[in-house]
């Protein structure tokens, strides 16, 4: 099968790594890709936000299957254009991708489907924002209504900071604070059948001990030793199935990856957010543990035959990934720094490119992640940091505490 993967992040590199080892794949193209995908797939330049351009490339390549990685092209309608060209495509339609593209739409779907989530208010001006902040009280949670790559959310006990973020965004969702450890659960769906992957945990803040501003994610591990084993079934029953059914009933079936971001509160799992694509960096750890064919799974979701796919098989191991971000991230990242050691096993590329002189340089906020698996979580963590120690990036930032609290059994679900 000729497969085109659209995107240029760590998620696309991880997907390409999985596809490149699959005998069903006869040729693999990644567009536009990064320095990591270039080592295992053919590269093509591409404006991924242009639906016609993506569909045209897929046709020109004779692609038999297209995977759309990031959210922005999904929200721009790229999956619709590829399907309209007659090519099976993994990724929801523009209409269904609103689940990620608009926090207000997601809240509306959750309310209609009876999905447990934080109480919230959509606020269009400063007076509405102030009223909502006072209704829910501190800590305040203020979310830009549109796509913001995980950086549109401010969680703070400072009312002025919350108001300033609301003013900056214009249209915001303000909601009650959810107390409890976070879980990312990826579910593959064809619009009816839902298949959950392993739960993972992400580290959103830039600094050790969950300090500093939110980022797209600084590290992850899977599975979660502290999570009650029945949680996945519960989230499937209470969140994933009702959401998929509600969207189908609205005539906007969601086929692709439903990313459920949860807080494990004293009242049970509560949805923090939905995304319409694999998460970064959780994908690196989840796919590192998947033994079954990712290609078979995603293709079945694209063509509506997920019910026929055999149960997934997982390695009986743990995985840890640690992100290296560019200087100044999550502010405007410094780009163009030379990276060494990034071709080692376990290094997954995100914002990297190969310069004309052959050097690999940084080209995005999150640059690389160091990923490892081992029979224990502590072993995987040690290995991941060993992989990381072989990489050099001037000004590179990384957290030193990824997976640490889970290993020390310090994570508790509030009672």
The contact pattern for ligand AMP, residues 150-169, with x = CB under 6 A and - = no contact, is x--x-x--------------
Q: Does 272 bind ligand AMP (CB under 6 A)?
A: yes
Of ligand GLY, ligand AMP, none, which one does residue 141 interact with (CB within 5 to 8 Å by kind)? ligand AMP
177 vs 226, which CB is nearer to ligand AMP? 177
Q: Collapse the DSSP code of 256 into the 3-class scheme (helix H, G, I; strand E, B; otherwise coil) and give the result.
A: strand
215 vs 397, which CB is nearer to ligand AMP? 215
Count the site residues for ligand AMP by CB under 6 A.
15
Shortest Å distance, C-beta 61 to ligand GLY: 27
35 vs 220, which CB is nearer to ligand GLY? 220
Window 72 to 101, contacts with ligand AMP (CB under 6 A)? none
Please state, in angstroms and rounded to a whole number, the distance separating the CA atoms of residues 107 and 274: 9
Of ligand AMP, ligand GLY, none, which one does residue 282 interact with (CB within 5 to 8 Å by kind)? ligand GLY
Report how far apart, in Å, the C-alpha atoms of 55 and of each of 1, 60, 73, 203 are: 17, 9, 12, 35
Residues 6+ apart with CB under 8 A from 76: 49, 50, 51, 94
Report the residue from 16, 25, 46, 178 that binds ligand AMP according to the rule CB under 6 A. Answer: 178
Report the residue from 70, 219, 261, 330 that binds ligand AMP according to the rule CB under 6 A. Answer: 261
Q: Collapse the DSSP code of 346 into the 3-class scheme (helix H, G, I; strand E, B; otherwise coil) and give the result.
A: coil
Report how far apart, in Å, the C-alpha atoms of 32 and of each of 1, 87, 389, 407 are: 20, 19, 28, 38
Of ligand AMP, ligand GLY, none, which one does residue 301 interact with (CB within 5 to 8 Å by kind)? none
Per CB under 6 A, the segment of 5-13, 175-183, 334-342, 365-373 that binds ligand AMP is 175-183
Quote the tokens at residue 414: 């509030």
Q: Does 71 bind ligand AMP (CB under 6 A)?
A: no
Shortest Å distance, C-beta 133 to ligand AMP: 13
Shortest Å distance, C-beta 149 to ligand GLY: 7
Q: Does 273 bind ligand AMP (CB under 6 A)?
A: yes
Q: Which of 174, 178, 176 is nearest to 130 (CA)?
A: 174
Of ligand GLY, ligand AMP, none, which one does residue 118 interact with (CB within 5 to 8 Å by kind)? ligand AMP
Of ligand AMP, ligand GLY, none, which one does residue 155 interact with (CB within 5 to 8 Å by kind)? ligand AMP
The contact pattern for ligand AMP, residues 114-153, with x = CB under 6 A and - = no contact, is ----x----------------------x-x------x--x
Q: Does 406 bind ligand AMP (CB under 6 A)?
A: no
Shortest Å distance, C-beta 17 to ligand GLY: 18
Residues 6+ apart with CB under 8 A from 413: 180, 181, 226, 228, 264, 265, 266
**What order do you get walking across the sheet with 392-393 strand by strand?**
352-354, 360-362, 338-340, 392-393
**What order do you get walking across the sheet with 256-265 strand by strand?**
194-196, 182-189, 256-265, 268-275
Please state, in angstroms and rounded to a whole number, the distance separating the CA atoms of residues 24 and 20: 9
Site residues for ligand GLY per CB under 6 A: 150, 202, 216-217, 275, 279-280, 282
Please state, in angstroms and rounded to a whole number, the distance separating the CA atoms of residues 351 and 366: 6
Shortest Å distance, C-beta 203 to ligand GLY: 9
Q: Which of 177, 226, 155 is nearest to 405 (CA)?
A: 226
Please state, in angstroms and rounded to a whole number, the distance separating the CA atoms of residues 124 and 132: 11
Of ligand GLY, ligand AMP, none, which one does residue 353 interact with (CB within 5 to 8 Å by kind)? none
Q: Which sign, positive or negative, has the C-alpha torsion 262, 165, 107, 297?
A: negative
Q: Are strands 2-7 and 27-32 parallel, antiparallel or unpaired?
A: parallel
Shortest Å distance, C-beta 275 to ligand GLY: 5
Query: Cβ(159)–Cβ(104) under 8 Å?
Result: no
153 vs 323, which CB is nearer to ligand AMP? 153
The residues binding ligand AMP (CB under 6 A) are 118, 141, 143, 150, 153, 155, 175, 177-178, 182, 204, 214, 261, 272-273
């Amino acid at each position: 099968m000729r497969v085109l993967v659209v995107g240029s992040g760590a998620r696309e590199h991880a997907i390409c790594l999985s596809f490149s080892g699959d005998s069903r794949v006869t040729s693999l193209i990644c567009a536009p890709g990064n320095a990591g995908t270039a080592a295992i797939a053919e590269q093509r330049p591409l404006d991924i936000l242009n639906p016609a351009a993506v569909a045209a490339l897929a046709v020109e390549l004779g692609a038999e299957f297209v995977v759309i990685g990031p959210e922005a092209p999904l929200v721009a309608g790229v999956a619709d254009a590829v399907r309209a060209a007659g090519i099976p495509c993994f990724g929801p339609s523009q209409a269904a991708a609103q689940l990620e593209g608009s926090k207000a739409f997601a809240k509306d779907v959750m309310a209609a489907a009876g999905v447990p989530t934080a109480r919230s208010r959509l606020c269009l001006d400063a007076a509405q924002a102030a009223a909502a902040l006072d209704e829910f009280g501190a800590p305040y949670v203020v979310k830009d209504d549109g796509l913001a790559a995980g950086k549109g959310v401010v969680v703070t006990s400072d009312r002025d900071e919350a108001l300033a973020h609301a003013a900056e965004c214009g249209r915001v969702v303000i909601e009650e604070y959810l107390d409890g450890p976070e879980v990312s659960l990826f579910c593959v769906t064809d619009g009816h059948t839902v298949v959950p992957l392993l739960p993972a945990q992400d580290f959103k803040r830039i600094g050790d001990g969950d300090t500093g501003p939110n980022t797209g994610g600084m590290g992850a591990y899977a599975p979660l030793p502290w999570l009650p084993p029945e949680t996945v079934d519960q989230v499937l029953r209470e969140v994933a199935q009702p959401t998929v059914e509600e969207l189908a009933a609205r005539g906007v079936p969601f086929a692709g990856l439903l990313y459920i971001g949860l807080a494990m509160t004293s009242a049970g799992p509560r949805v923090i957010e939905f995304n319409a694509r694999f998460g970064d960096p959780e994908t690196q750890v989840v796919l590192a543990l998947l033994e079954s064919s990712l290609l078979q799974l995603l293709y079945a979701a694209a063509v509506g035959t997920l019910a026929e796919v055999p149960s997934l098989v997982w390695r009986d191991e743990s995985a840890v990934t640690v992100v290296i971000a560019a200087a100044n991230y999550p502010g405007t990242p410094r780009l163009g720094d030379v990276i060494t050691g990034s071709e080692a096993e376990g290094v997954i590329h995100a914002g990297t490119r190969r310069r004309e002189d052959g050097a690999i340089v940084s080209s995005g906020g999150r640059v690389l992640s160091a990923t490892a698996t081992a029979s224990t979580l502590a072993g995987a963590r040690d290995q991941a940091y060993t992989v990381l120690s072989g990489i050099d990036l001037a000004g590179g930032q990384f957290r030193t505490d990824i997976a640490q609290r889970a290993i020390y059994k310090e994570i508790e679900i509030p009672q």
